[in-house]
Structure 1
Amino acid sequence: MHLTATYEVTRQELLRANKQAFSSRREALWACCTGLLITGLLEISTKKAITLGAISLAFGLMSLLQLTVGTRISAKRMMAVFNNPAEVTITEEEVSVRRPGSHTTLAWSSLERVMDTEEFVFIYQAKRARGFILKRGFTPEQQEELSAFLATLPIAGPKEDRPVAAAGQ
């Protein structure tokens, strides 16, 4: 197998990739944010612990800002790196991504996990270090071949729209 694709990442794709890659963390943050906001409002409205309520409310609002505005600001900053065309080459041994001024090659055996979704292939180098490949750069036949190959990898997670830990983690 030797698949090659060239594409440019849009800001919306980068935003979707980040949201999908970190969906479990985002869900935990949303739950925490909701809990802090509710606790803060209850403490202030009952006048039992106004200071604690104000602190909870402030942290809840900061978390809310991070989940909304912060995510968009991060995507905007990342566009400086992703704004150039990427050439992706995939073989049975490795995945290689070339951009003007940078080149990354990763052996499949060096990865912690791989997640195949409808739109992206997420490549996890470590628990928090991940990258993604856009599938739209490949032909439908290449996408099928890629998905079939990824399913054979021992580090492959289930084919879903949201990454989950590989077996044994």
Structure 2
Amino acid sequence: MDFTLTYHPTPDEVGRALQHGVGRQLRAVRVALPAVLAASGLACLLLGTVGLGAGLLAGAVAFPPVLTGVIRRTARRQLGYLCVPTTLHVTGDGYSMSTEQSTSAVKWSLFSDVVATPEFWLFFVNRQFAGFLPRRAFDPAQQTALDALFAPQPTPASR
């Protein structure tokens, strides 16, 4: 595998990729924190601390949309750097990405997980969202090659 292509990410596309990636990274927090806040709020209400209990319950309800807003605001700050014409050179070892402002290269072995979605390949390093490639930038043959590269390898026990 060795191909080079140029594409221009759109703000909506970058926003969706960041929302998917960061949302996946923060999935446990998105579920656990509201559950802890709700349980603590109920406990406070049962103990007669109505103000604190109501505040904790309100926090449990408000946390998910606030987190989504923070992710979107962070994404908007990155758009100027990410939504520019980009040239990708993809090989079996990794990829390099260059714009007028920057050039970077990454080996596939850096990523501990690659999640394929209908729109993107999302890259993670130790459960932290590290980047993405949009499927639309690649022709069908290139997408098939990348899907095969990122497909989970069977473990010796499952063969």
Q: TM-score band (shorter)?
A: 0.7 to 0.9
* Structure 1 outlier segments of 4+, above 6 Å: none
Q: Sequence identity of aligned pairs in percent?
A: 28
Range with bigger deviation, 2-11 or 34-43: 34-43
Distance (whole Å) between structure 2 residues aligned to residue 70 and residue 105 of structure 1: 29
Structure 1 residue identity aligned to 2:104: T
Letter aligned with residue 123 of structure 2: I
Structure-1 separation of matches of 2:61 and 2:11: 25
User: Offset of 1:71 from its aligned partner?
Assistant: 2.1
1:79 aligns to what? 79
Q: Which residue of 2 aligns with 1:163?
A: none
The residue type paired with residue 144 of structure 1 is T
Q: TM-score, normalised by structure 1?
A: 0.72
**Structure 2: which 5+ residue stretches go unaligned?**
155-159
Q: How does 1:78-117 map to 2 (within 5 A)?
A: 78-117=78-117
Q: 2:26 aligned with 1:25, yes or no?
A: yes
The answer to whether structure 1 residue 148 and structure 2 residue 143 are counterparts is: no
- Once residues 72 and 99 of structure 2 are traced to their aligned partners in structure 1, the CA distance between those partners, rounded to angstroms, is 23
Could you tell me which amino acid in structure 2 is paired with residue 36 of structure 1? L
Contact kept? 2:19, 2:72, Cα under 8 Å: no
| Shift in alpha-carbon separation, 1:27–1:10, aligned structure 2, 3 A | farther
Q: Does structure 1 conserve the Cα–Cα contact (< 8 Å) formed by 2:123 and 2:130? A: yes
Equivalence map 1:114-133=2 (5 Å):
114-133=114-133
TM (norm. structure 2) is 0.76
Q: CA RMSD in A?
A: 2.9
Q: CA, structure 1 residues 65+145, in 2 after alignment: closer, same or farther (shift >3 Å)? A: closer
The gaps in structure 1 that reach 5 residues or longer are 157-169
C-alpha distance in structure 2 between counterparts of 1:68 and 1:98, whole Å: 29
Aligned partner of 1:25: which letter?
Answer: L
Match of 2:10 in 1: 10
Q: Provide the rounded CA distance (Å) in 1 between the counterparts of 2:15 and 2:28.
A: 16
- Matched AA of 2:37: L
Please state how far the C-alpha of 1:42 moved relative to its aligned partner: 8.4
